Amino acid sequence: MTRRSALLHTTALLALAAPGLLSGCQSDVAYSQSALNSLQTREFNFTIDKTFDACVGSLFDLGYTIRSSDKRGGFVSAVNQGSMLQIKLDQLGPTNTAVRVSTSEGGQTRVDKPLIDAFFNTLERRLLTAERGT
C-alpha cells in the first residue's frame, strides 16, 4: 500500500466514523430559569397521595431503582446506570399537585429533556389509568 493510498484509506474511515463519534458528544442546552421551570414542573389534578404513588410506579416502569424516598416530605429519587431522577411533589390544593423532576448524570446536574418528557408521559398514563380504575 502506497503512502497516498494509506492516507486515503484513513481519511475515508475517519469521515465515516465522524458522525457516529460526534453523536456521542451531547452539548448541554442552556435553559433560562423560566424555561427550566416549565420543562421540569407540571401540575396534575390529582391528590398528592395518588400522584406520589403514580410517580413511584412510573420510575419502576422506566427501569429506575428507588434510591431514597420520603412520602411525607414528597420526595423520591431513583437511579438507573449512572442516571438519576429526583422528584419533588408539592401540594397546591386538595386535588392539585405540582411535580418537579430534575435529572443528573454521573452525579452532575444535566437537563435531559427526553427523559423528563418520558417520565411525565408515563406519569400521565399512570394517573389516567388509576382514575379509570377507580
Partner 1 sequence: MSAARVMGALCFAIAVLLLPACESTPPLSPTQWNAIETRSVQAPRDEVLRAAAAVILDQGYYFTASDQGAGTMTAARVPLVYQDQYRRTGGMRSSAPVDTIAVWVSQISPAESSMRIQLRESGEHIASDERVSAFWNAVQRRLLAKSPPSDPPSRQEGV
Binding site for partner 1 (CB under 8 A): 1-2, 4-5, 8-9, 12-13, 16-17, 19-20, 52-53, 56-58, 60-63, 65-72, 76, 80-81, 122
* Burial state string for 59-83 with b = 16 or more CB within 10 A and e = fewer than 16: beebebeeeeeeeeebebbbeeeeb
Residue nearer to partner 1 on the CB measure, 24 or 94: 24
Residue with cell 412510573: 58
Q: What are phi and psi of 46, to 5 degrees?
A: -140, 160
Smallest separation, CB 101 to partner 1 (Å): 16
Distances from the Cα of 88 to the Cα of 30, 38, 39, 93, 116, angstroms? 22, 14, 14, 16, 13
Q: Cβ of residue 118: shortest distance to partner 1, in angstroms?
A: 9
Query: To the nearest whole angstrom, how small is the minimum distance from the Cβ of residue 113 to partner 1?
Result: 19
- Of 31 and 61, nearer to partner 1 (C-beta) is 61
Provide the minimum distance between the beta carbon of 43 and partner 1 in the complex, in angstroms, as a whole number. 21
Pick 31 or 98: Cβ nearer partner 1: 98
Q: Is the Cβ of residue 22 or residue 29 nearer to partner 1 in the bound state?
A: 22
